[in-house]
Amino acid sequence: MAETLSLPAPTPTGDSKEYWSAANDGRLILRACRTCGKPMFYPRGHCPACGSGDLEWREASGEGVVHACTIVHRAPDQAFRARAPYVIALVDLKEGPRMMANITDCPPEEVRIGMPVTVWFEARSETIAIPQFRPAQGEKK
């Protein structure tokens, strides 16, 4: 879809190459610390909790709950304007970290704090897909 392709596709950096590569394969992975055990978001080269550089990638369940949400009516550019109104949410992943995403496949006004959501991946270019969330199965759509 032309509209989808004109939406921003992130440019991976040294600390995020694997994250974006996994996302393009339809997997959500989290960087985690092998010293203190904590997973982090976003991926970093050192653990922000304990400073350790001994890190690993872990598969995330892709499950989370909405921590906060907003229905956006004024979009930043033409591509997003075509989607408005759309929902931006902060999602608390089952593993602990919090991330931003749109909540899709649901009327915007039905998204609420505490709603269980599941990850899916939206293609933004041939090599980049971004994690998005939709109501978990069994949730009222």
Partner 1 sequence: MSGLSGATAIVGVAETRLGKVPELGCMQMCVQAAHEAAAEAGIKMSDIDAVLTVDSMAEPFRMHSVVLSEYLGIRPRYSMTNSLGGATHCAMVSHAAAALHAGLCDTVLIATSDKLVTGLTKDQAIAALAENAGHAQYERPYGPMIPAMYALAANRYMHQYGVTPEQMAEVAVVHRRHAGMHPNAQEKTPITREDVLASKPVAMPLRVLDCSLVSDGGGAIIMTRADRARDLKQTPVFLLGVGERHLNEFVHQAPDLTTCGAKDSGEQAFRMAGLAPKDMDVAMLYDCFTITVLLLLEDLGFCPRGEAGAFVESGAIALGGALPVNTHGGLLSHGHPGRPGGVFHIIEAVRQLRGQCDARQVQDAARAFVHGNGGILSTHCSLILGRD
Angle at 71 between CA 109 and CA 10, to 5 degrees: 130
Q: How far is the CB of 81 from partner 1 (least distance, A)?
A: 9
Q: Is 86 in the site for partner 1 (CB under 8 A)?
A: yes
Give whole-number Cα distances, 102 to 15, 34, 66, 122, 137, in Å.
Answer: 23, 31, 10, 10, 17
Separation CA 14–CA 22 (nearest Å): 14
Using DSSP, state whether 13 is helix, strand or coil.
Answer: coil
For partner 1, the closer CB: 7 or 106: 7
Least distance between partner 1 and beta carbon 96 (Å): 12
Among 21, 63, 65, 75, binds partner 1 (CB under 8 A): 75
Positions 88 through 117 that interact with partner 1 (CB under 8 A): 88-90, 98-102, 113
List, in sequence order, every residue forming a beta bridge with 129; answer none if it has no partner: 123
Q: Footprint of partner 1 on this chain (CB under 8 A)?
A: 7-13, 16, 20, 41-42, 67-77, 80, 83, 85-86, 88-90, 98-102, 113, 124, 130
